[in-house]
A = this chain, B = another copy of it.
Protein backbone atom coordinates (compact mmCIF):
# COMPACT_ATOMS: atom_id res chain seq x y z
CA UNK A 1 0.00 0.00 0.00
CA UNK A 2 1.54 3.30 -1.05
CA UNK A 3 2.05 6.20 1.32
CA UNK A 4 -0.35 9.07 0.69
CA UNK A 5 1.14 12.52 1.23
CA UNK A 6 -1.07 15.42 2.24
CA UNK A 7 -0.34 18.46 4.36
CA UNK A 8 -3.79 18.64 5.85
CA UNK A 9 -6.16 16.08 7.25
CA UNK A 10 -8.86 15.08 4.76
CA UNK A 11 -12.26 13.62 5.53
CA UNK A 12 -11.04 10.44 3.86
CA UNK A 13 -8.40 10.02 6.59
CA UNK A 14 -11.28 8.98 8.83
CA UNK A 15 -13.14 6.82 6.34
CA UNK A 16 -11.69 3.47 7.29
CA UNK A 17 -10.05 2.91 3.92
CA UNK A 18 -6.59 3.37 2.40
CA UNK A 19 -6.03 6.87 3.73
CA UNK A 20 -6.96 5.79 7.26
CA UNK A 21 -4.49 2.93 7.00
CA UNK A 22 -1.86 5.34 5.71
CA UNK A 23 -2.48 7.79 8.57
CA UNK A 24 -2.23 5.03 11.14
CA UNK A 25 0.82 3.33 9.63
CA UNK A 26 2.78 6.49 8.88
CA UNK A 27 1.80 9.03 11.53
CA UNK A 28 0.59 7.03 14.51
CA UNK A 29 2.23 3.60 14.76
CA UNK A 30 5.86 4.81 14.51
CA UNK A 31 5.30 7.03 17.56
CA UNK A 32 3.71 4.41 19.78
CA UNK A 33 5.60 1.26 18.98
CA UNK A 34 4.54 -1.71 21.06
CA UNK A 35 3.50 -5.24 20.19
CA UNK A 36 -0.17 -4.86 21.18
CA UNK A 37 -0.83 -1.73 19.12
CA UNK A 38 1.13 -3.06 16.14
CA UNK A 39 -1.42 -5.84 15.70
CA UNK A 40 -4.10 -3.26 14.87
CA UNK A 41 -6.74 -5.64 16.12
CA UNK A 42 -10.17 -4.44 17.17
CA UNK A 43 -9.13 -4.97 20.77
CA UNK A 44 -5.75 -5.08 22.45
CA UNK A 45 -4.84 -8.08 24.55
CA UNK A 46 -3.46 -7.13 27.97
CA UNK A 47 -1.81 -9.54 30.38
CA UNK A 48 -2.29 -8.52 34.01
CA UNK A 49 -0.64 -9.47 37.26
CA UNK A 50 -4.00 -9.32 39.01
CA UNK A 51 -7.62 -10.29 38.48
CA UNK A 52 -8.88 -6.80 39.17
CA UNK A 53 -8.44 -3.67 37.11
CA UNK A 54 -9.13 0.00 37.53
CA UNK A 55 -10.70 1.57 34.45
CA UNK A 56 -11.08 5.26 33.63
CA UNK A 57 -11.63 7.67 30.75
CA UNK A 58 -11.39 11.38 29.94
CA UNK A 59 -11.93 13.49 26.86
CA UNK A 60 -9.71 16.51 26.25
CA UNK A 61 -10.87 19.69 24.50
CA UNK A 62 -8.28 22.15 25.82
CA UNK A 63 -7.91 25.49 24.05
CA UNK A 64 -5.30 26.53 22.98
CA UNK A 65 -3.92 23.17 21.87
CA UNK A 66 -0.37 24.22 22.80
CA UNK A 67 0.44 26.04 26.03
CA UNK A 68 3.52 26.72 28.11
CA UNK A 69 4.37 23.41 29.76
CA UNK A 70 2.36 21.14 27.53
CA UNK A 71 -0.20 20.52 24.82
CA UNK A 72 -3.37 18.49 24.30
CA UNK A 73 -1.34 15.32 23.62
CA UNK A 74 0.63 15.48 26.85
CA UNK A 75 -2.49 16.49 28.76
CA UNK A 76 -4.51 13.57 27.40
CA UNK A 77 -1.94 11.09 28.66
CA UNK A 78 -1.42 12.80 32.03
CA UNK A 79 -5.14 13.10 32.72
CA UNK A 80 -5.84 9.40 32.42
CA UNK A 81 -2.56 8.26 33.99
CA UNK A 82 -3.34 10.51 36.96
CA UNK A 83 -6.89 9.22 37.38
CA UNK A 84 -5.42 5.73 37.72
CA UNK A 85 -2.52 6.91 39.88
CA UNK A 86 -4.74 8.63 42.47
CA UNK A 87 -6.88 5.50 42.67
CA UNK A 88 -3.77 3.68 43.91
CA UNK A 89 -3.09 1.91 40.64
CA UNK A 90 -0.15 1.32 38.35
CA UNK A 91 -1.26 2.34 34.84
CA UNK A 92 -0.98 -0.73 32.59
CA UNK A 93 -2.41 0.34 29.23
CA UNK A 94 -3.96 3.36 27.56
CA UNK A 95 -6.20 3.93 24.57
CA UNK A 96 -5.97 7.05 22.41
CA UNK A 97 -8.90 8.19 20.28
CA UNK A 98 -8.78 11.22 17.99
CA UNK A 99 -11.59 13.37 16.60
CA UNK A 100 -9.94 15.63 14.02
CA UNK A 101 -11.40 18.53 12.04
CA UNK A 102 -10.97 18.31 8.26
CA UNK A 103 -8.14 20.61 7.19
CA UNK A 104 -6.17 20.22 10.43
CA UNK A 105 -2.45 20.58 9.75
CA UNK A 106 -0.62 17.28 9.53
CA UNK A 107 2.46 18.83 11.16
CA UNK A 108 0.42 19.92 14.16
CA UNK A 109 -1.06 16.45 14.49
CA UNK A 110 2.44 14.97 14.37
CA UNK A 111 3.59 17.30 17.16
CA UNK A 112 0.63 16.38 19.34
CA UNK A 113 1.15 12.65 18.77
CA UNK A 114 4.89 12.96 19.48
CA UNK A 115 4.11 14.72 22.74
CA UNK A 116 1.55 12.07 23.72
CA UNK A 117 4.04 9.36 22.89
CA UNK A 118 6.83 10.98 24.92
CA UNK A 119 4.55 11.47 27.92
CA UNK A 120 3.36 7.86 27.75
CA UNK A 121 6.98 6.68 27.72
CA UNK A 122 7.75 8.98 30.67
CA UNK A 123 4.81 7.45 32.52
CA UNK A 124 5.97 3.98 31.46
CA UNK A 125 2.60 2.97 30.05
CA UNK A 126 1.95 1.71 26.50
CA UNK A 127 -0.80 3.01 24.23
CA UNK A 128 -2.30 -0.25 23.03
CA UNK A 129 -5.43 0.66 21.08
CA UNK A 130 -6.95 3.67 19.40
CA UNK A 131 -9.35 5.18 16.92
CA UNK A 132 -9.37 8.07 14.46
CA UNK A 133 -12.40 9.97 13.24
CA UNK A 134 -12.42 13.00 10.94
CA UNK A 135 -15.33 15.45 10.83
CA UNK A 136 -15.91 18.12 8.20
CA UNK A 137 -14.50 21.63 8.55
CA UNK A 138 -16.40 23.59 11.20
CA UNK A 139 -17.80 20.47 12.93
CA UNK A 140 -15.03 20.39 15.57
CA UNK A 141 -12.41 22.82 16.84
CA UNK A 142 -9.14 21.37 15.53
CA UNK A 143 -8.74 18.19 17.53
CA UNK A 144 -10.34 16.50 20.50
CA UNK A 145 -8.65 13.54 22.20
CA UNK A 146 -10.08 10.82 24.38
CA UNK A 147 -7.92 8.51 26.43
CA UNK A 148 -9.07 5.59 28.51
CA UNK A 149 -6.82 3.59 30.78
CA UNK A 150 -6.62 0.44 32.80
CA UNK A 151 -4.42 -0.16 35.79
CA UNK A 152 -3.76 -2.66 38.53
CA UNK A 153 -3.88 -1.74 42.19
CA UNK A 154 -0.75 -1.49 44.25
CA UNK A 155 -0.81 -4.10 46.98
CA UNK A 156 -1.85 -3.12 50.48
CA UNK A 157 -3.38 0.19 49.51
CA UNK A 158 -6.71 0.93 51.10
CA UNK A 159 -8.11 4.16 49.72
CA UNK A 160 -11.67 5.01 50.67
CA UNK A 161 -13.74 7.97 51.81
CA UNK A 162 -14.94 5.70 54.64
CA UNK A 163 -11.51 5.69 56.26
CA UNK A 164 -11.28 9.48 56.53
CA UNK A 165 -11.45 10.66 60.16
CA UNK A 166 -11.29 13.97 62.03
CA UNK A 167 -7.64 14.90 62.54
CA UNK A 168 -6.45 13.49 59.21
CA UNK A 169 -4.20 15.84 57.26
CA UNK A 170 -4.71 17.20 53.75
CA UNK A 171 -1.51 17.30 51.72
CA UNK A 172 -0.68 18.56 48.23
CA UNK A 173 2.50 18.01 46.22
CA UNK A 174 3.04 21.64 45.18
CA UNK A 175 1.75 24.93 43.80
CA UNK A 176 -1.94 25.25 43.00
CA UNK A 177 -3.56 26.83 39.95
CA UNK A 178 -0.57 26.70 37.58
CA UNK A 179 -2.35 24.86 34.77
CA UNK A 180 -5.56 26.87 34.76
CA UNK A 181 -3.87 30.24 35.04
CA UNK A 182 -1.41 29.37 32.25
CA UNK A 183 -4.27 28.49 29.91
CA UNK A 184 -6.34 31.54 30.87
CA UNK A 185 -3.44 33.95 30.59
CA UNK A 186 -2.48 32.56 27.21
CA UNK A 187 -6.07 32.76 26.02
CA UNK A 188 -6.41 36.34 27.22
CA UNK A 189 -3.02 37.28 25.74
CA UNK A 190 -1.72 38.58 29.04
CA UNK A 191 1.83 39.91 29.11
CA UNK A 192 3.26 37.93 32.03
CA UNK A 193 2.10 34.70 30.45
CA UNK A 194 5.67 33.70 29.67
CA UNK A 195 6.39 33.26 33.37
CA UNK A 196 3.43 30.94 33.83
CA UNK A 197 3.80 27.25 33.10
CA UNK A 198 1.29 24.42 33.35
CA UNK A 199 2.08 21.77 35.97
CA UNK A 200 0.84 19.08 33.54
CA UNK A 201 2.71 15.87 34.51
CA UNK A 202 2.08 12.16 34.93
CA UNK A 203 1.85 11.39 38.66
CA UNK A 204 2.01 7.60 38.76
CA UNK A 205 5.62 7.48 39.89
CA UNK A 206 4.94 10.02 42.66
CA UNK A 207 1.88 8.18 43.95
CA UNK A 208 3.75 4.87 43.88
CA UNK A 209 6.53 6.52 45.91
CA UNK A 210 3.99 7.80 48.44
CA UNK A 211 2.26 4.43 48.80
CA UNK A 212 5.58 2.60 49.13
CA UNK A 213 6.40 4.57 52.29
CA UNK A 214 3.75 2.50 54.04
CA UNK A 215 2.15 5.72 55.32
CA UNK A 216 -1.51 5.48 56.29
CA UNK A 217 -2.86 7.09 53.10
CA UNK A 218 -6.66 7.17 53.10
CA UNK A 219 -7.57 8.97 49.92
CA UNK A 220 -5.98 10.61 46.89
CA UNK A 221 -7.44 12.72 44.11
CA UNK A 222 -6.09 14.97 41.37
CA UNK A 223 -7.65 18.45 41.72
CA UNK A 224 -8.31 19.11 38.02
CA UNK A 225 -11.50 20.92 36.90
CA UNK A 226 -12.91 22.77 39.91
CA UNK A 227 -9.50 22.73 41.60
CA UNK A 228 -8.77 22.12 45.27
CA UNK A 229 -12.17 23.66 46.12
CA UNK A 230 -14.07 20.96 44.21
CA UNK A 231 -11.88 18.13 45.52
CA UNK A 232 -12.13 19.17 49.17
CA UNK A 233 -15.87 19.76 48.91
CA UNK A 234 -16.31 16.26 47.49
CA UNK A 235 -14.25 14.83 50.33
CA UNK A 236 -16.24 16.79 52.94
CA UNK A 237 -19.55 15.53 51.48
CA UNK A 238 -18.46 11.94 51.06
CA UNK A 239 -16.66 11.63 54.40
CA UNK A 240 -19.33 13.60 56.29
CA UNK A 241 -16.74 15.83 57.92
CA UNK A 242 -15.98 19.55 57.82
CA UNK A 243 -12.62 20.55 56.38
CA UNK A 244 -10.28 23.36 57.34
CA UNK A 245 -7.78 24.70 54.80
CA UNK A 246 -5.01 27.08 55.89
CA UNK A 247 -4.47 29.94 53.45
CA UNK A 248 -0.88 30.61 54.53
CA UNK A 249 -0.02 26.96 53.90
CA UNK A 250 -1.21 26.88 50.27
CA UNK A 251 1.81 26.65 47.94
CA UNK A 252 1.30 29.34 45.28
CA UNK A 253 3.68 30.69 42.66
CA UNK A 254 3.92 34.50 42.78
CA UNK A 255 3.29 34.95 39.05
CA UNK A 256 0.26 32.68 39.24
CA UNK A 257 -1.04 34.69 42.20
CA UNK A 258 -0.56 37.92 40.24
CA UNK A 259 -2.40 36.52 37.23
CA UNK A 260 -5.26 35.28 39.40
CA UNK A 261 -5.55 38.65 41.16
CA UNK A 262 -5.55 40.50 37.83
CA UNK A 263 -8.17 38.22 36.25
CA UNK A 264 -10.25 37.92 39.40
CA UNK A 265 -9.93 34.17 39.99
CA UNK A 266 -9.82 32.25 43.26
CA UNK A 267 -6.90 29.82 42.88
CA UNK A 268 -8.71 27.21 44.95
CA UNK A 269 -11.15 26.85 42.02
CA UNK A 270 -8.48 26.61 39.35
CA UNK A 271 -7.56 23.39 37.56
CA UNK A 272 -4.28 21.59 38.17
CA UNK A 273 -2.90 18.83 35.95
CA UNK A 274 0.10 17.64 37.93
CA UNK A 275 -1.17 17.77 41.48
CA UNK A 276 -2.50 15.20 43.90
CA UNK A 277 -4.41 15.91 47.08
CA UNK A 278 -3.56 13.23 49.63
CA UNK A 279 -5.44 12.61 52.85
CA UNK A 280 -3.35 10.77 55.43
CA UNK A 281 -3.58 10.11 59.15
CA UNK A 282 -2.04 12.80 61.37
CA UNK A 283 0.73 10.39 62.37
CA UNK A 284 1.60 9.65 58.72
CA UNK A 285 1.36 13.16 57.29
CA UNK A 286 5.02 14.13 57.69
CA UNK A 287 6.14 10.86 56.13
CA UNK A 288 3.99 11.62 53.07
CA UNK A 289 5.28 15.20 52.79
CA UNK A 290 8.90 14.04 53.08
CA UNK A 291 8.44 11.38 50.42
CA UNK A 292 6.84 13.94 48.11
CA UNK A 293 9.60 16.49 48.67
CA UNK A 294 12.26 14.01 47.62
CA UNK A 295 10.44 13.42 44.31
CA UNK A 296 10.89 15.83 41.36
CA UNK A 297 7.13 16.37 41.21
CA UNK A 298 6.75 17.11 44.93
CA UNK A 299 9.46 19.61 45.87
CA UNK A 300 6.91 22.17 47.18
CA UNK A 301 4.71 19.64 48.96
CA UNK A 302 2.88 20.88 52.04
CA UNK A 303 0.17 20.08 54.56
CA UNK A 304 -2.61 22.50 53.57
CA UNK A 305 -5.35 21.63 56.02
CA UNK A 306 -7.08 18.96 58.01
CA UNK A 307 -10.29 17.03 58.45
CA UNK A 308 -12.35 18.69 61.18
CA UNK A 309 -15.39 17.42 63.07
CA UNK A 310 -18.16 15.22 61.70
CA UNK A 311 -21.18 17.10 60.36
CA UNK A 312 -24.44 16.16 58.61
CA UNK A 313 -24.06 19.18 56.36
CA UNK A 314 -20.30 19.52 56.10
CA UNK A 315 -18.49 22.55 54.70
CA UNK A 316 -14.97 23.49 53.70
CA UNK A 317 -13.57 26.56 55.45
CA UNK A 318 -10.44 28.56 54.71
CA UNK A 319 -8.55 30.01 57.67
CA UNK A 320 -7.44 33.20 55.96
CA UNK A 321 -4.09 34.93 56.17
CA UNK A 322 -5.58 37.74 58.23
CA UNK A 323 -7.09 35.33 60.75
CA UNK A 324 -10.64 35.16 59.41
CA UNK A 325 -12.69 32.24 58.11
CA UNK A 326 -14.47 31.96 54.82
CA UNK A 327 -16.47 29.15 53.29
CA UNK A 328 -14.88 27.51 50.24
CA UNK A 329 -17.82 26.59 48.05
CA UNK A 330 -18.13 23.97 45.39
CA UNK A 331 -17.46 26.02 42.23
CA UNK A 332 -20.55 26.58 40.12
CA UNK A 333 -18.67 25.58 37.02
CA UNK A 334 -18.53 28.49 34.64
CA UNK A 335 -15.09 29.70 35.50
CA UNK A 336 -12.90 27.99 32.98
CA UNK A 337 -14.33 26.27 29.91
CA UNK A 338 -11.99 24.05 27.90
CA UNK A 339 -9.24 24.02 30.49
CA UNK A 340 -8.57 20.35 29.81
Residues of A within 8 A of B (CB): 1, 10-21, 41-61, 63, 82-84, 86-87, 89, 93, 95-99, 128-131, 133-136, 138-141, 144, 146, 148-151, 153, 221-222, 224-226, 230, 269, 271, 330-338
| B148–A57 CB distance below 8 A | yes
Residues of B within 8 A of A332 (CB): 12, 15, 17-19
| B338–A10 CB distance below 8 A | no
| B97–A57 CB distance below 8 A | yes
For the complex, give the distance between the alpha carbons of A165 and B16 in Å: 26
| B136–A337 CB distance below 8 A | yes
Q: Name A102's closest neighbour in chain B (CB-CB).
A: B337
The 8 closest A-B pairs by CB, nearest first: A16-B225, A15-B333, A17-B333, A148-B148, A17-B331, A16-B226, A12-B333, A57-B95
A130 to chain B, nearest CB (A): 7
Contact of A56 among B10, B44, B47 (CB under 8 A): B44
| B141–A141 CB distance below 8 A | no
For the complex, give the distance between the alpha carbons of A114 and B309 in Å: 40
| A12–B334 CB distance below 8 A | yes
| B20–A225 CB distance below 8 A | yes
Contact of A333 among B19, B139, B226 (CB under 8 A): B19
Contact of A334 among B11, B59, B84 (CB under 8 A): B11
| A337–B55 CB distance below 8 A | no
Residues of B within 8 A of A63 (CB): 139
For the complex, give the distance between the alpha carbons of A271 and B60 in Å: 27
| B44–A55 CB distance below 8 A | yes
Contact of A10 among B1, B44, B330, B334 (CB under 8 A): B334
| B51–A45 CB distance below 8 A | no
Residues of B within 8 A of A153 (CB): 45
